[in-house]
Amino acid sequence: MVAAVDIDGRAAQLGINWSEINLDSIQLPPGDDFGIASDDEAVYHEDQSEFDTGFGNIIVVDHLPVVTREKYEKLEGVVKKIYNQLGVIRENGLWMPVDPDTKKTLGYCLIEFNTAQEAQNAKEKTHGYKLDKSHIFDVNKFDDFDRLMNVKEEWEPPQARPYVPAENYQKWLTDEKARDQLVIRHGADTEVYWNDPRQKMPVPVHKRPYWTESYVQWSPLGTYLVTLHKQGAAVWGGADTFTRLMRYQHSMVKLVDFSPGEKYLVTYHSQEPSNPRDASKVEIKVFDVRTGRMMRDFKGSADEFSIGGPGGVAGASWPVFRWAGGNDDKYFAKLSKNTISVYETETFSLIDKKSIKVDNVVDICWSPTDSILSLFVPEQGGGNQPAKAALIQIPSKVELRQKNLFSVSDCKMYWQSSGEYLAVKVDRYTKTKKSTYSGFELFRIKERDIPIEVLELDNKNDKIIAFAWEPKGHRFAVIHGDQPRPDVSFYTMKTAQNTGRVSKLATLKAKQANALFWSPTGKYIILAGLKGFNGQLEFFNVDELETMATAEHFMATEILWDPTGRYVATAVTSVHEMDNGFTIWSFNGNLLYRTLKDHFFQLAWRPRPPSFLTAEKEEEIAKNLKKYSKKYEAEDQDVSLLLSEQDREKRKALKEEWEKWVMQWKSLHEEEKLARQNLRDGEVSDVEEDEYEAKEVEFEDVIDVTEEIVQESM
């Protein structure tokens, strides 16, 4: 998509009056694309291959009874009757050849319809139609006949293609400088960059205009970048440049989702109904990412896909299918009215061929690492039947743990990223039912019998604005209290003295924050004030409980940690008109660089697959960090020296160039001095320079004169 403004701008730049151009009058030379690669090029080719030769509306019906002349008209009548129901047969469109010798028909006829669609329809509907026991129609399109005639009698084994070693899809991980990639979309362009904090700039990797028609998304392990098009989705990746690896046909695809181990891609499309009272139609397809094969598709009205789940798009809450945790992509679940449908990916069918019946279930959530499903059922019967939060093991469908909750108004589930804890935020009504207050139910999944602990805030009337688990850790942060200055509290699930109880670490009073962003490695958190707080950022170290830095990215809409937790990107996207672009910070709040891009739509870091190192090994590295960091510090210094050297050179060159230009001017200015003076009626005009010029003036003065009479002694 190109903004009209861009077109106008470009036109103005080329000196073209845009309004005077008749676009239809422009003819491109055949095969010329002006270097703009069409994103649906491949699909065009596919379409062209089945370009109709003008006989697309003709079908051949075989296996008709062989009849004599007397019965000819009767048979013609029967055939016409059958096919007139399926489409309009053209005038004289039915032709049943007759053997000139026997005067009998040959047992087939050709029918010409008005349109190719009708022909196709007729072919599909009547192929295999039983006229009677011995006459079963064999219907083909006339266009297919050549192809069918050319089928060789003998089977030829398909040629084995030589083995081509696949590219290393993980090559970006082997970057010498251990940089991370990020993708941005702005204007019509989609660009992938290295984040290079040493050079304080993004280093381009790949750029493509019109790469996608709506948005792009990385796969969960970073191997693929998926783009959306009218015809479907495509994934890109590879060793050096982004090449297209696979396409998935799904016309007008709106949303995509990967399974966590990126084996499967789920695509979503919904169509607005022509009658506004109807629900919109939804089609969801599940593809195998590597082979491109469609594994299953689901069709239905939006109602069937729209229960539960927060936010989402109109029509359905995305993702409709939620994938079980872990990287083996074994199960996915769908929530619909009173049922939870859990599918397994071996056969792409329901486990035990049955859905799980849970009356009034409104929300489900997978553990990020295990195949455990948590679900929430609200209160029913005006409070006679309590609300319930439960954990179900898949595929056994055994309920591991459940808890009844009373006078609940709403409930939200938060899994800790390694699946050790589940926090359920419960909003309860006060006795008067006029207001609500919040508390947490904390499940310890990995412990025996899954103990549950209840946590209430110090001031239990505080509203909870945000909640976030420390990734891979045992702490969580809560923003609570009332705007405009809420408090932020940190809790831990285990302390040195007390491993079994949750305890509070600290509360920070009156912070300008409404969102929490933990570093992916834990320990550091950004307390962010988005929207109403104009983009306040506080970089906080939770180990030391101290603020490392406070900063502001005015009007920031997005805060994204890189997958290693070393850098943070904050961005202002095109929801605001001004200052679109992104800023890169170090984890401790040092501003590294800013990049401004008009019409900035999206920024996404390329995820990394989980590390192969064991927790012990990682700890060991962390301990000996000083030893390792020396090498990198030295490298950093070299780079910065080199950069400043280059910078100096460049500046020197610029200065010299300017001096040269100025000198040339000065001489000319000098020559014209007289002319200027004349224009000013003889007034000496060029004081501009003279006034400030230092002149060396030799000055002689007579200080004293004495007369002496020198006597001559002759």
Partner 1 sequence: MRPILMKGHERPLTFLRYNRDGDLLFSCAKDHTPTLWYADNGERLGTYRGHNGAVWCCDVSRDSSRLITGSADQTAKLWDVQSGQELFTFKFGSPTRSVDFSVGDHLAVITTDPFMERTSAIHVKRIAEDPQDQVADSVLVLQSPEGRKRINRAVWGPLNQTIVSGGEDAVIRIWDSETGKLLKESDGEVGHKKPITSLAKAADDSHFITGSLDKTAKLWDMRTLTLLKTYSTVVPVNAVTMSPLLNHVVLGGGQDASAVTTTDHRAGKFEAKFYDKILQEEIGGVKGHFGPINALAFNPDGRSFSSGGEDGYVRLHHLDPDYFNIKI
Q: Which residues bind partner 1 (CB under 8 A)?
A: 9, 12-15, 534, 554-555, 577-579, 596, 651, 654-655, 658, 661-662, 665, 668-669, 672, 675-676, 679-681, 685, 688-689
> Six-digit token pair at 498?
């007390």
> Six-digit token pair at 485?
């200055």
Distance CA 530, CA 510 (A): 15
Q: Write down the least CB distance from residue 554 to partner 1, Å.
A: 6
| Cα–Cα nearest to 264, from 241, 290, 230 | 290
In sequence order, what are the beta bridge partners of 329? none
Q: Write down the least CB distance from residue 552 to partner 1, Å.
A: 9
Q: Write down the least CB distance from residue 14 to partner 1, Å.
A: 6
Q: Write down the least CB distance from residue 512 to partner 1, Å.
A: 15
Nearer to partner 1, 497 or 667 (CB): 667
Nearer to partner 1, 620 or 689 (CB): 689
Distance CA 136, CA 153 (A): 24
Work out the burial of residue 6: count CB atoms within 10 Å of its CB; fewer than 13 is exposed, 13-18 middle, 19 or more buried. Answer: middle
Nearer to partner 1, 15 or 381 (CB): 15
Distance CA 712, CA 68 (A): 170
Q: Write down the least CB distance from residue 13 to partner 1, Å.
A: 5
Question: How would DSSP label each residue in 520-573?
Answer: TTSSEEEEEE-GGG-SEEEEEETTTTEEEEEEE-TT--EEEE-TTSSEEEEEE-
Question: How would DSSP label each residue in 370-424?
Answer: SSEEEEEE--BGGGTB-EEEEEEETTTTEEEEEEEESSEEEEEEEE-TTSSEEEE
Q: Cβ neighbours of residue 115 under 8 Å, at least 6 residues apart?
A: 57, 87
Nearer to partner 1, 346 or 681 (CB): 681
Distance CA 687, CA 666 (A): 14
Q: Where are the beta strands (DSSP E) in 133-242?
A: 135-136, 138-141, 180-186, 189-196, 201-209, 216-218, 225-228, 232-237
Nearer to partner 1, 314 or 662 (CB): 662
User: Strand 135-136 relative to strand 558-561: parallel, antiparallel, unpaired?
Assistant: unpaired
| Cα–Cα nearest to 604, from 235, 216, 265, 196 | 216
Largest CA distance in the chain: 175
Q: Write down the least CB distance from residue 680 to partner 1, Å.
A: 5
Distance CA 260, CA 324 (A): 8
Nearer to partner 1, 668 or 703 (CB): 668
Nearer to partner 1, 4 or 702 (CB): 4
Nearer to partner 1, 5 or 313 (CB): 5
| Cα–Cα nearest to 196, from 658, 707, 640 | 640
Q: Write down the least CB distance from residue 482 to partner 1, Å.
A: 23
Nearer to partner 1, 9 or 77 (CB): 9
In sequence order, what are the beta bridge partners of 339? 336, 357
Nearer to partner 1, 78 or 591 (CB): 591
Q: Coil, strand, or helix at residue 665?
A: helix
Nearer to partner 1, 101 or 688 (CB): 688
Q: Write down the least CB distance from residue 687 to partner 1, Å.
A: 9
Q: Write down the least CB distance from residue 37 to partner 1, Å.
A: 24
Q: Write down the least CB distance from residue 602 to partner 1, Å.
A: 20
Nearer to partner 1, 63 or 669 (CB): 669
- Exposure b/e, 493-517, CB count within 10 A at least 16 = b: beeeeeeeebeeeebbeebbbbbbb
Q: Write down the least CB distance from residue 661 to partner 1, Å.
A: 7
Task: For residue 262, give the H/E element and its range.
Answer: none
Q: Write down the least CB distance from residue 690 to partner 1, Å.
A: 12
Nearer to partner 1, 577 or 618 (CB): 577
Q: Write down the least CB distance from residue 596 to partner 1, Å.
A: 6
